[in-house]
Structure 1
């Protein structure tokens, strides 16, 4: 099947028109030629940006010289009310210290400790969906609920039904609906003292989320001091000192980190799960294969080791993230003048790496818009994957939760498809748009029915 993508804009538009389109949706604001270009330059009166699709340039920015291309403050401008100075937006020594504290909690050898909580959340999602069998279900909403449940259970050992968790989830959904990926301050070189033009609804939702997370963090600190804290991700992170300084996160820093864990672990997982289910609904033969694999592998008491045996389900999930990368674009900044593809790139230029375009690039992938989980086992597909697949970024700043996501996603997908049949409920294909993550413009509505034995 052909996986839908948004219409592209005309090649030439005015700067004002481009900024309006970009603010509304960064995917449809781009011209179609970017799906073939190795590099493109965009100029505004205030800065230059260079979109790099060439795998050699991507490696240079993310792997070979990451210190020369730190995260751009222009992305932080829009997310600051919620994320503060979390690991997602910091650079240099501050970022390195944060990663030294966070990374051990997500190390491969410790992921199995989170598996029981993930399994409980997957079963809870299955049970909730059972009450909607025979109906048309808004799948993005269901996926958001399931992913949030995973985060709360693995981070704070509470289910989504907990009062604080439910209030946080509600506030985050309001935040997601009102927060653009980039706000006006991302385009204009505003002095520090000027306001950042965040929408009032964004500020209110972010403040409510941070207040609730502060309460959770303070309660966990008290439980740690009393020796009664569960050994979940929050406890692991709050009790891990920086191996270089011996200091851990203080209360304010921990709230910043919890905010990004919730944003990255909930929003991105929900996006990937929803698109996976849509693609399977549109490709019943692949859906049937996932269901058969789930019945064979999961059984009545799945274990952490079983996830490695969900090979086709994992390929479906990875293919969904190729076609619909949850984070469609990443922005770095050139710390010094560089030269890319025989072109001078001035200091301060914005370097845009676009998983959205790289994952569908016509020179890098065979049939780039086709949903084909089988490509993951083919020699040509594996070569493209090595060069042109970065849903979790790459290099030093690769997402610390990548391994977590690749257990959570296939587990949720297999658990749901084993028990339910998902079918398209309308002939109109969903239109992808980029908000905080890649979502559908009008949601994804699928008919859900029970799967026979």
Structure 2
């Protein structure tokens, strides 16, 4: 069986400046092939040291056991701050802890049940849009982005993607995603805060426009809350939530930062995961048929999603092969010793779901698509120790549960109505910008299942 596509890893050593050029073009193909077997690797620049860590117990130490000793790196924040400001995705320390105390209750299991009707409505709308594309070659990443954005706006602000402000945010964000690499050039250099960060002019202007539109939405919601007319969606829950320790909530400017990351995390990452899963099912018709059969159990009732075990396994396997966020960077704040290396304070600790999820010394058939692996001993062990699509520990993505429900629902809804086949000659090429996407789109053909 043909293996799912993965970018070619470089085999040779390159200079720092060539590496930076490769890195900006595509984060994944810039990495050497040996990282799929290495427990740890060192990368040197004239200004700092980076260490990629794939050894499970060391990954656990960084993410789960001592997260305060390995905060998020400001070098990653350099590229995202124009859009995300001081959002919960970028902050550290007491600021981050306060933000999570306010946000977390909105995404608890019981609260997710309240968002399900909005997810269901968005899934039905997606099926209606796809129905008009039957028999055509469809760029499914674009459709997945549309569906994921619709879910975010319906669950966050109770408006569909067709709302004039929602549509503008979606269109502007698509432009931003295509122009913004994961790391800005400033990530490689020890620049003082007052120096320019080498952003493209279009990147900065697009970020400003997105934030202006989000400010318009949050201001309107604040007025509705004050008048007692606000729907009880995620935006209202978060804007009215108080820190249990201080009794204070988010200021208006802070809420704009949080909505920006909800849109990035809840739309961009979900779209990436959904598109790759649909491609994998199109290229593995046996698993596609199993998901389609199981999808007959799907109903508007929230409890029906929990019965879709095969679909959940398929989605989990797609998250393994194509984790939306391929790398995470932490910074050591005190001296450490990992394996035989002395880690100085300020060193960058790179945790790579892309490499960890395909590590040749951990996973059976690491590059193969096998949703059945999760029932094996190897799969169960690796899920505990080497599977971090949403990070892990205290900084696990607040929307992880939301994403799993959304992904399973969307897959089941689409496969219930359509059969997917890949378009000949259009094998996707994974590249990493803000998330793992295809360099030239993911092209599929849809046919109605009720016509079979």
TM, length-normalised to structure 2: 0.99
Instruction: Give the match for residue 157 of structure 1.
Output: 158
Instruction: Give the match for residue 176 of structure 2.
Output: 175
**Which of residues 317, 320, 336 is equivalent to 2:315?**
317
Instruction: Give the match for residue 388 of structure 1.
Output: 386
Cα deviation 1:221-262 (Å, max 9, x = unaligned): 000000000000000000000000000000000000000000
Instruction: Give the match for residue 246 of structure 2.
Output: 245
Instruction: Give the match for residue 308 of structure 1.
Output: 306
Q: Conserved in 1, the CA contact under 8 Å of 2:112 and 2:402? A: yes
The structural deviation recorded for 1:302 is 2.4
**Which of residues 413, 416, 423 is equivalent to 1:415?**
413
**Which of residues 428, 432, 436 is equivalent to 1:430?**
428
Q: Secondary structure at the match of 1:201?
A: helix
User: Is residue 2:258 matched to residue 1:261?
Assistant: no
The structural deviation recorded for 1:428 is 4.1
Matches of 1:109 and 1:54 in 2, distance apart? 35
Matches of 2:92 and 2:379 in 1, distance apart? 34
Instruction: Give the match for residue 6 of structure 1.
Output: 7
The structural deviation recorded for 1:414 is 0.5
- Is there any run of 5+ residues in structure 1 with no aligned partner, and where? none
Output the aligned Cα RMSD: 0.8
User: Is residue 2:47 matched to residue 1:46?
Assistant: yes
Matches of 2:426 and 2:275 in 1, distance apart? 16
Instruction: Give the match for residue 76 of structure 2.
Output: 75
Matches of 2:184 and 2:396 in 1, distance apart? 25
Query: 4+ runs of 1 displaced by more than 3 Å?
Result: none
Cα deviation 1:31-58 (Å, max 9, x = unaligned): 0000000000000001100000000110
Q: Secondary structure at the match of 2:167?
A: helix
Instruction: Give the match for residue 352 of structure 2.
Output: 354
Instruction: Give the match for residue 113 of structure 2.
Output: 112
Q: Secondary structure at the match of 2:119?
A: helix
Matches of 1:355 and 1:321 in 2, distance apart? 9
**Which of residues 336, 340, 343 is equivalent to 2:341?**
343
Count of matched residue pairs? 450
Q: Secondary structure at the match of 2:219?
A: helix
Matches of 1:10 and 1:306 in 2, distance apart? 47
Matches of 1:73 and 1:143 in 2, distance apart? 31
Matches of 1:180 and 1:14 in 2, distance apart? 20
Matches of 1:264 and 1:312 in 2, distance apart? 25
**Which of residues 329, 332, 349 is equivalent to 2:330?**
332
Q: Secondary structure at the match of 1:171?
A: helix
Matches of 1:200 and 1:417 in 2, distance apart? 41
Q: Secondary structure at the match of 1:191?
A: coil
Cα deviation 1:305-343 (Å, max 9, x = unaligned): 000001000100000000000000000000011000121
Matches of 1:381 and 1:214 in 2, distance apart? 44
The structural deviation recorded for 1:427 is 3.5
Matches of 2:425 and 2:174 in 1, distance apart? 27
Quick one: structure 1 residues 428 and 138, their matched pair in 2 at CA, closer, same or farther if it must change by over 3 Å? Answer: closer
TM, length-normalised to structure 1: 0.98
Matches of 1:103 and 1:11 in 2, distance apart? 45
Matches of 2:83 and 2:378 in 1, distance apart? 41
Matches of 1:47 and 1:448 in 2, distance apart? 49
